[in-house]
């Protein structure tokens, strides 16, 4: 599976329903497996550098982790819901409803480590 671009509706359907969090304040995770969401902008240089790394990692972890992209300029509501203030920002979604955030351009090894944390957690 390649990195799939999502709009607000796709995000709410495939990743999490941020409009209706759980009573404990956890994200209502809707995916079949852990997910990494790349919040990016088309004008962002580091985002352009991250894209091919994400595609490569997505192929390696196909069937174990889902990879998505959300353009912050086209999907302001989703970006605001996750308090995205700079790009690139990677939001990691665990099936138990917890999330983690990585702000800035990670190295390829950092990206692999984040993905392994989702797979083997």
Known catalytic residue at 106 = no
Q: Which candidate, 37, 12, 5, 27, places its Cα nearest to that of 96?
A: 27
Known catalytic residue at 112 = no
Domains of the chain: 4-120 (3.40.30.10)
The residue ranges of DSSP E strands in the chain, in sequence order, are 4-5, 35-40, 66-71, 89-93, 99-103
From the candidates 14, 28, 44, 94, which is the catalytic residue?
44
From the candidates 15, 16, 35, 47, which is the catalytic residue?
47
Mean pLDDT of the region 57-69: 96
* Cα angle 47-52-56, degrees, rounded to a multiple of 5: 135
Residue 61 has pLDDT above 90, yes or no: yes
Q: What is the pTM of this model?
A: 0.93
């Amino acid at each position: 599976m390649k990195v799939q671009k999502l709009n607000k509706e796709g995000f709410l359907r495939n990743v999490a329903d941020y409009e209706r969090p759980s009573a404990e304040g956890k994200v209502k995770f809707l995916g079949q497996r852990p997910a990494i969401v790349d919040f990016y902008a088309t004008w962002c240089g580091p985002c352009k550098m991250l894209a091919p790394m994400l595609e490569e990692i997505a192929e390696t972890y196909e069937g174990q982790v889902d990879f998505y992209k959300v353009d912050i300029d086209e999907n302001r509501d989703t970006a605001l819901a996750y308090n995205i203030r700079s790009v690139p920002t990677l939001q990691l979604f665990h099936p138990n409803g917890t999330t983690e955030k990585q702000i800035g351009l990670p190295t390829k090894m950092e990206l692999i480590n984040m993905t392994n944390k989702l797979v083997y957690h």
